[in-house]
Copies of this chain bind each other. A is one copy, B any other.
Amino acid sequence: MTLTGPIKIKSKAVAQEFLDSFDSFLFDCDGVLWLGSHLLPSIKETLKLLTDLGKKLIFVTNNSTKSRAAYTKKFAGFGIEVSEDQIFTSGYASAVYVRDFLKLQPGKDKVWVFGESGISEELSLMGYESLGGGDPRLDETFDFKTSPFLVNGLDPDVHCVVAGLDTKVNYHRLAVSLQYLQKEDSVHFVGTNVDSTFPQKGFIFPGAGSTIASLACSSGRTPVYCGKPNINMLNTIVSAKNLDKSKCCMVGDRLNTDIRFGVEGSLGGTLLVLTGIETEERALEEDGDHPQPKYYAEKLGDVYELTSS
């Protein structure tokens, strides 16, 4: 039988075939495992099943606001034990990019952060001093004559701006970030992730991509993006976890980031779950502006519910 189009996981046989096809699973988190602070059905059971079967579990999120350490606490809060080295955030991927691709020197070179602690904490663990970010002096109304970030000139040791989602975005942060970005010859421009929005409780709110777009516009520069679906993120994971890509499955709720990440990264398979922002109709679209998943399911928990019934 030739299968065309995505396969829906809705029987025990298909669920079992899905499980047998891969030895590693990469999961997006929000919209797949949980919605905000609400764990989705049968998630704990599904993750335990996979662990018991000897599968490798890796968690890959474009959320740069939390560090990996903070993520392990979020998992623990749901009663799920996950170690830090199973987690890859776009903030961590950006820090890895700064270290391994840009080869900035820890203890010497500094990074200007436009974003939350999930970026600066990861940089700090690698030995990089970061400026900006959540510094409360940036909460003050901007005045170029008094801003402590401008009065004594820019810090000449800053060689990269890493920008991500920052719910404390204000003119002070935008203006100082722009000053660093204007040093095109000596300051790199890294964006955590391209997502223009994110869903929350029925709303759609501005995402990292939309504030990075503002900095890209004012500076006339294009950042390098490190989160999904950028291949930098996948290379980091594959190398760190020593994975066989053909035996990996990416599980996500977004066609244009998660599924694209798996398809363009040549992973063995992809699973779209419909607990996030996509619909069955979109999953089955052949001529859409997105790749098709290999598998799709109403929810990730169906994998457990179908195989254990």
Contact = CB atoms under 8 A, between A and B. Distances in A.
Contact of A206 (B178, B204, B209): B178
Contacts of A197: 178, 218
Nearest to A179: B203
A206 B214 contact: yes
Contact of A174 (B142, B144, B169, B201): B169
A144 B206 CA distance: 12
A156 to B, nearest CB: 17
Interface in A176-231: 178-179, 182, 196-197, 200-201, 203-207, 209-211, 213-218, 220
Contact of A201 (B144, B166, B205): B144
Given A168-B171, A171-B168, A196 B220 contact: yes
B171 A167 contact: yes
A170 interface: yes
A175 interface: yes
A20 B215 CA distance: 45
Contacts of A167: 141-142, 171
- Give the dominant DSSP class at A's interface: mixed
A31 B170 CA distance: 26
Contact of A209 (B200, B209, B217): B217
A166 B214 CA distance: 13
A150 B216 CA distance: 29
Contacts of A204: 178, 182
Interface of A: 141-142, 144, 150, 166-171, 174-175, 178-179, 182, 196-197, 200-201, 203-207, 209-211, 213-218, 220
27 contacts: A141-B167, A142-B167, A144-B200, A144-B205, A150-B203, A168-B171, A169-B169, A169-B171, A169-B174, A171-B206, A175-B205, A178-B197, A178-B205, A182-B204, A196-B217, A196-B220, A197-B218, A206-B214, A207-B218, A209-B217, A209-B218, A210-B215, A211-B214, A213-B213, A213-B216, A214-B214, A214-B217
Q: Which 5 A-B pairs have the closest CB atoms?
A: A210-B218, A213-B217, A214-B214, A210-B217, A206-B218
